[in-house]
């Protein structure tokens, strides 16, 4: 999974500023964003993130006290 996260950070540079975690129990990618601007930008790109990580079924974006943005992804 480490290689996948490094690839994601290389392809979507904003993710370099985030804390990325893969949860293998439910095949989700959790992205903890450091600020609202990054959260907003990444929330517009779930399909691009899914294409880069075929093993992810859910994308969870987090930022401070915002509600979690949970997107179920179609990876096929």
6 pLDDT more than 90: no
Question: What confidence tens digit (pLDDT) does each residue in 22-34 have?
Answer: 888 888 899 999 9
Range of the domain at 57: 2-72
Question: What confidence tens digit (pLDDT) does each residue in 24-66 have?
Answer: 888 889 999 999 999 999 999 888 887 777 777 888 999 998 8
Domain count within the chain: 1
Q: What is the pLDDT of residue 18?
A: 96
Local confidence band at 1 (pLDDT 50, 70, 90 cut-offs): low
**What's the 3-state SS for the chain?**
CHHHHHHHHHHCHHHHHCEEEEECCCCEEEEECCCHHHHHHHHCCHHHHHHHCCCCCEEEEECCCCCCEEEECCCC
The CATH number linked to 51 is 3.30.70
């Amino acid at each position: 999974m480490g290689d996948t996260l490094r690839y994601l950070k290389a392809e979507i540079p904003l993710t370099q500023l985030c804390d990325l975690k893969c949860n293998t129990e439910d095949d989700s990618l959790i992205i903890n964003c450091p600020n609202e601007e990054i959260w907003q930008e990444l929330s517009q790109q779930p399909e691009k993130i899914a294409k880069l990580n075929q093993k992810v079924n859910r994308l969870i974006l987090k930022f401070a006290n915002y509600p979690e943005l949970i997107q179920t992804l179609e990876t096929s």
